């Protein structure tokens, strides 16, 4: 295998490990985003009150229903690891749509609100591509809506805040990925070390994880419950020990 092929194989292995990690945290992410949608709906009722448009109330109910269904789905179904990023992306796009809807209703720029949403992508994804794609789609949806309700200064300030949030989220995601790679490498080393059996070159005793030296029979029996070691003698040893006797027979 060439160096280029080995690098490609390692990259593919890392991607599989990241997909597995994303799938492991998928139920937690779905439940957290459901909580965000519920809190956002409560916030709308408290801030906007009776002036809330009917379409926003219906949209809130729709988003909560979708997030509840998603949270139940990912906990009760076996989701293939390769789809985990796309499921989180769909949930984040729903959350981003709600953020843009709030701006449209309140006619306020809410730059901090949008920046926090984009930054949260770094905590939900383990893929640069999905993070940047999700951020770009939300910013695009925002750019379609805000020219009709915000001033030029408000648009520029909010856009700068979102770009800075994208840059910061990439930095945070890079640190997360580096940390996971370090953990994966340590796990591989541990697995490799566990496959090594220390043995005395003279008496053939082996050392257990507590540092005690034991006969190989004792060690094998301790490693597998119910296993008993019986003793016999192989043909080679029979010939070496009792060769003259056997020849005479």
Share of the chain above pLDDT 70, in %: 92
187 within domain boundaries:
yes
- What single string gives the DSSP state of each residue in 26-59? HHHHHHHHHHHHHHHHHHHHHHTGGG--HHHHHH
Give 156's contacts (C-beta < 8 A, 6+ positions apart). Answer: none
Q: 174 is written with which tokens?
A: 């890079």
Secondary structure E strands in 31-164:
none
State mean pLDDT over 129-138. 94
pLDDT of amino acid 34: 93
Do residue 23 and residue 139 come from a single domain? yes
Do residue 113 and residue 230 come from a single domain? no
* Tokens 């003698």, located at residue: 233
pLDDT of amino acid 143: 94
Do residue 183 and residue 224 come from a single domain? no
**Can you give the pTM of this predicted structure?**
0.74
Do residue 222 and residue 171 come from a single domain? no
At 247, the pLDDT band (50, 70, 90 cuts) reads low
Do residue 21 and residue 106 come from a single domain? yes
4 vs 104: CA distance, rounded Å: 50
33 within domain boundaries:
yes
197 within domain boundaries:
no
142 vs 96: CA distance, rounded Å: 9
10 within domain boundaries:
yes
Tens digit of each residue's pLDDT (9 = 90 or more) over 81-108: 888 999 999 999 999 999 999 999 988 8
Do residue 242 and residue 172 come from a single domain? no
Do residue 243 and residue 183 come from a single domain? no
At 166, the pLDDT band (50, 70, 90 cuts) reads very high
State mean pLDDT over 129-149. 94
State mean pLDDT over 44-62. 89
111 within domain boundaries:
yes
Domain of 218, in residue numbers: 206-248
Do residue 187 and residue 215 come from a single domain? no
85 within domain boundaries:
yes
Do residue 37 and residue 129 come from a single domain? yes
Do residue 227 and residue 187 come from a single domain? no
pLDDT of amino acid 216: 81
Do residue 17 and residue 132 come from a single domain? yes
3-state secondary structure of 84: helix
79 within domain boundaries:
yes
Question: What average pLDDT does the structure give for the chain?
Answer: 86
Tens digit of each residue's pLDDT (9 = 90 or more) over 108-118: 888 998 999 99
At 245, the pLDDT band (50, 70, 90 cuts) reads low
Q: Total structural domains in the chain?
A: 2
State mean pLDDT over 126-140. 94
């Amino acid at each position: 295998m060439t160096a280029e092929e080995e690098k490609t194989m390692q990259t593919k292995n890392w991607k599989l490990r990241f997909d597995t990690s994303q799938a492991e945290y998928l139920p937690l992410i779905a439940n957290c985003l459901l909580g965000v949608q519920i809190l956002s709906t409560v916030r709308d009722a408290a801030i906007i009150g009776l002036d809330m448009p009917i379409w926003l109330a219906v949209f809130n109910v729709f988003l909560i229903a979708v997030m509840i269904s998603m949270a139940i789905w990912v906990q009760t179904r076996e989701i293939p690891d390769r789809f985990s990023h796309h499921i989180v992306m769909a949930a984040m796009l729903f959350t981003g749509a709600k953020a843009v809807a709030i701006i449209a209703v309140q006619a306020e720029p809410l730059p901090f609100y949008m920046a926090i949403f984009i930054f949260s992508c770094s905590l939900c994804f383990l893929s640069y591509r999905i993070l940047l794609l999700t951020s770009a789609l939300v910013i695009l949806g925002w750019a379609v809506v805000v020219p009709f309700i915000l001033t030029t200064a408000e648009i520029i300030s909010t856009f700068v805040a979102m770009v800075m949030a994208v840059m910061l989220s990439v930095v945070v995601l890079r640190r997360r990925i580096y940390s996971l790679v370090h953990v994966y490498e340590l796990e591989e080393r541990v697995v490799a070390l566990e496959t090594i059996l220390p043995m005395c070159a003279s008496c053939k005793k082996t050392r257990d994880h507590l540092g005690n030296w034991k006969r190989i029979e004792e060690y094998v029996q301790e490693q597998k419950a119910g296993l008993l070691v019986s003793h016999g003698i192989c043909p080679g040893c029979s010939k070496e020990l009792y060769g003259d006797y056997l020849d005479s027979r």
